[in-house]
């Protein structure tokens, strides 16, 4: 188990090969919950190594656990949790597959089951953060927080407090949804991916081009920070987006007027996503946006997953989104989330797009820039989910 590690998505062919049901799975599907659990228990006893057969058995057990988690009954809650947290032998799955399974089972339990049937899983407090049993319960608490469930339940609150004491990464997140997270997991008709300049202008006020912005952009200094860049890009890497995101940081010799923080400034920065601007029909465009818009896009990147990737579940998608936002603002991890919300309001946020070999306007492209309150530091994050093999991108 690897806490706070993204679990990159797989290619569609790999995913299809793993998920294609064989005769054994088809037979198991005909059993009731108790029969499925007993069959999975027998399979677990045979998975004693880490070879191809053990991996196949583990995938079958994983599918059974997900089916049980999705079947409403107290027994199914117990069966599903028991399979993934106790019976499935360690090493039978890769760490990434194991993480994905735990996150998937937690999400399905919260979506399908009554809280009263989930609550007994928290009867015993952990003595450490390692192990699939603790990780499953941490994910359950994370999923419950985003649907506003579990507050006032002593066993859940005691478990969450223990996780905070032990330093589990998910435990730093609030036990309830913050107002800035109001769009997490919510799909709004008509608010899909922004693919055209017209769509961008229809949703956000445009930041006009200025000569002062161009001058300031040409004088910006590159402030490379690999750790910060990795944290900023994590939601897209975890979700399996098709191309590595570009995360860059710049410093300015003197404060930049917010009125000059627009597309003319961005076009002068040495950004890979803006190389060849004007080589395709259309002009680069920047619009003023808000922290909740940025945070929601960061959350969705790993919650939904890329076209060649896989969703991470709400608990870790939420964590990666916040870590990315902190990186964009340059905040230390120890800053409380509510303080980060307050500070986010003092930054200036832009969404931008361009017509280059980076932006393809066919699946998902997102690009943001943020100016800090001193007006001397700028962060840029751009990501595309275009099929790189099809389009010949490196």
In this structure, the answer to whether residues 167 and 202 fall within a common structural domain is: no
In this structure, the answer to whether residues 204 and 113 fall within a common structural domain is: no
Q: Is residue 187 part of a domain?
A: no
Question: Is the model more confident about 126 or about 89?
Answer: 126
Over residues 250-258, the mean pLDDT reads 96
pLDDT exceeds cutoff 60 at 10: no
pLDDT over 90 for what percent of the chain?
65
CATH code (residue 314): 3.40.1000
Q: Is residue 249 part of a domain?
A: yes
In this structure, the answer to whether residues 380 and 235 fall within a common structural domain is: yes
Q: Is residue 152 part of a domain?
A: yes
Q: Is residue 78 part of a domain?
A: yes
User: Which pLDDT band, with edges at 50, 70 and 90, does 181 fall under?
Assistant: very high
Q: Is residue 1 part of a domain?
A: no
In this structure, the answer to whether residues 202 and 331 fall within a common structural domain is: yes
Question: Is the model more confident about 5 or about 384?
Answer: 384
Q: Is residue 38 part of a domain?
A: yes
Lowest pLDDT segment from 180-194, 212-226, 239-253, 367-381? 180-194
**Burial (CB count within 10 angstroms: exposed 0-12, middle 13-18, buried 19+), residue 306:** buried
In this structure, the answer to whether residues 30 and 164 fall within a common structural domain is: yes
In this structure, the answer to whether residues 381 and 257 fall within a common structural domain is: yes
User: Which pLDDT band, with edges at 50, 70 and 90, does 281 fall under?
Assistant: low
In Å, what is the CA distance from 90 to each residue of 7, 51, 63, 100, 121? Answer: 17, 13, 17, 14, 20
In this structure, the answer to whether residues 203 and 283 fall within a common structural domain is: yes
In this structure, the answer to whether residues 153 and 212 fall within a common structural domain is: no
Q: Specify the number of domains making up the chain.
A: 2
Q: Is residue 18 part of a domain?
A: yes
In this structure, the answer to whether residues 165 and 208 fall within a common structural domain is: no
Mean model confidence pLDDT for the chain: 87
In this structure, the answer to whether residues 171 and 106 fall within a common structural domain is: yes
The contacts of residue 250 (CB under 8 Å, 6+ apart) are 220, 221, 222, 223, 269, 377, 378, 379, 380
In this structure, the answer to whether residues 156 and 206 fall within a common structural domain is: no
User: Which pLDDT band, with edges at 50, 70 and 90, does 296 fall under?
Assistant: very high
Question: Is the model more confident about 54 or about 216?
Answer: 216
User: Which pLDDT band, with edges at 50, 70 and 90, does 18 fall under?
Assistant: very low
**How would you list the strands of the sheet with 348-353, edge to edge?**
221-222, 246-251, 377-384, 365-371, 348-353, 285-289
Question: Is the model more confident about 388 or about 218?
Answer: 218
The pLDDT of residue 9 is 46
Place of tokens 């996150």: 103
Q: Is residue 99 part of a domain?
A: yes
In this structure, the answer to whether residues 208 and 86 fall within a common structural domain is: no
- Size of the chain in residues: 394
Question: Is the model more confident about 337 or about 47?
Answer: 337
What single string gives the DSSP state of each residue in 251-264? E-SSPPPGGG-SHH
Tell me which residue range forms the domain holding 118.
Answer: 12-176
Taking Cα atoms as reference points, which of 147, 66, 163 lies closest to residue 114? 147
- pLDDT, one tens digit per residue, over 119-150 is 999 999 999 999 999 999 999 999 999 998 87
The pLDDT of residue 127 is 92
- Mean pLDDT is highest, among 1-15, 88-102, 376-390, for 88-102
Handedness of CA 206, 321, 176, 80 (dihedral sign): positive
pTM: 0.89
The pLDDT of residue 6 is 56
């Amino acid at each position: 188990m690897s806490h706070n590690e993204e679990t990159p998505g797989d290619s569609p062919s790999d995913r299809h090969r793993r998920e294609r049901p064989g005769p054994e799975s088809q037979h198991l599907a005909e059993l009731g919950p108790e029969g499925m659990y007993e069959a999975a228990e027998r399979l677990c006893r045979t998975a004693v190594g880490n070879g191809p057969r053990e991996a196949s058995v583990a995938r079958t057990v994983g599918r059974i656990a997900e089916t049980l988690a999705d079947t409403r009954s107290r027994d199914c809650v117990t069966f599903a949790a028991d399979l993934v947290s106790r019976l499935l032998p360690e090493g039978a799955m890769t760490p990434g597959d194991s993480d994905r399974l735990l996150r998937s089972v937690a999400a399905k339990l919260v979506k399908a089951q009554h809280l009263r049937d989930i609550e007994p899983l928290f009867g015993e407090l952990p003595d450490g953060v390692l192990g699939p049993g603790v990780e499953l319960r941490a994910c359950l608490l994370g999923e419950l927080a985003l649907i506003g469930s579990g507050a006032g339940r002593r066993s859940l609150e005691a478990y969450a407090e223990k996780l905070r004491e032990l330093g589990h990464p998910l435990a730093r997140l609030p036990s309830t949804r913050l107002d800035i997270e109001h769009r997490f997991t919510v799909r709004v008709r008509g608010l899909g991916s922004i693919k055209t300049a017209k769509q961008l202008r229809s949703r956000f006020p445009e930041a006009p081009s200025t000569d002062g912005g161009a001058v300031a952009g040409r004088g910006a200094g590159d402030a490379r920070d690999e750790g910060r860049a990795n944290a900023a890009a994590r939601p897209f890497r975890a979700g399996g987006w098709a191309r590595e995101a570009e995360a860059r940081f710049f410093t300015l010799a003197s404060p930049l007027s917010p009125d000059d923080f627009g597309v003319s400034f961005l076009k002068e920065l040495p950004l890979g996503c803006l190389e060849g601007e004007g080589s395709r029909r259309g002009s680069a465009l920047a619009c003023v946006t808000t922290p909740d818009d940025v945070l929601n896009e960061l959350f969705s990147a790993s919650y939904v997953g890329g076209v060649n990737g896989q969703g991470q579940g709400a608990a870790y998608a939420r964590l990666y989104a916040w870590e990315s936002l902190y990186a964009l603002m340059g905040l230390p991890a120890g800053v409380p989330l509510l303080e980060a919300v307050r500070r986010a309001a003092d930054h200036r946020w832009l969404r931008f797009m361009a017509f280059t070999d980076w932006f393809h306007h066919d699946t998902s492209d997102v690009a943001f820039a943020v100016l800090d309150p001193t007006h001397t530091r700028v962060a840029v994050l751009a990501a595309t989910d275009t099929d790189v093999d099809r389009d010949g991108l490196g």
